[in-house]
Amino acid sequence: MNSPLPPAHRRLFLLLGSLYAAWWVTLAIAPKHPFDWWLENILVITGLLLLILTARRFVFSRLSYFLIFLFLCLHTLGAHYTYSEVPYRAWFESLGLRGTAPPFDAADPARNHFDRLVHFLYGLLLTLPFREAFYFAVVPKSAFWSYLIILSFNMATSLLYELLEWAVVEIWGGELGLAFLGAQGDPWDAHKDMLLAAMGCLLCFALMLLVQALSGRDFAREWGERRRKGWLTTR
């Protein structure tokens, strides 16, 4: 027997689902590199299928679903233009911010840093949902493992994505491979992307520990354990 979906979640799903569907359809129109767009959206389809299939057993918190929504929106934007060609500088100028670069541009103004930003946000935005799922699946003897294993998972999935990019370059090569890879001539691009994802994860841990210190509660642990107990009692 499945755990009931909380009413507040139903309303949130309707809102976020409608917004994301509209966003996805809009950005599905005339993508810059259509085949690269399809490759990037394999990840979206896989992620959404996992959310749907696992919802039969586990429901994330509303905050986690909102963070997942934000990450999917950013990934969908990157898929439309390809990550290395998202025109964020032109958008800044259209807002009257000519000559003002976003903070993540400071290291190398000549490079398009949108891909680096999203790798960092992969760690920052998805660590909370990963940790909630961890506490649903595992009963650790110490909270330390909920940090170490999630950090390891973050780094492992970042590595798998970089290997996927390498495989696309090896199989298809040419313009498609370069568009999907998005290295922009940087031989250390994969290493930097993985490092940024890990840094985002660590920053999320720091925020979690700060909230825990101020409130005396570990919300990710509470949610995961509560959902596990709820599921076990309805089996």
Residue 142 included in any domain: yes
Q: Domain tally for the chain?
A: 1
* Residue indicated by tokens 């990840």: 43
pLDDT in tens, 25-44: 999 999 988 888 888 898 89
Would residue 121 count as lying in a domain?
A: yes
pTM of the shown model: 0.89
Sorted by sequence, the CB contacts under 8 Å of residue 192 that are 6+ apart come out as 116, 186
223 pLDDT higher than 70: yes
- Closest to 75 (Cα-Cα) out of 25, 29, 15, 24: 24
The answer to whether residue 1 is domain-embedded is no
Question: Phi and psi dihedrals of 218, rounded to 5?
Answer: -105, 95
In terms of residue numbers, what domain contains 198? 7-233
pLDDT band at 195 (very low <50, low <70, confident <90, very high): very high
Please tell me which residue, 92 or 59, carries the higher pLDDT value: 59
Residue 73 pLDDT > 80: yes
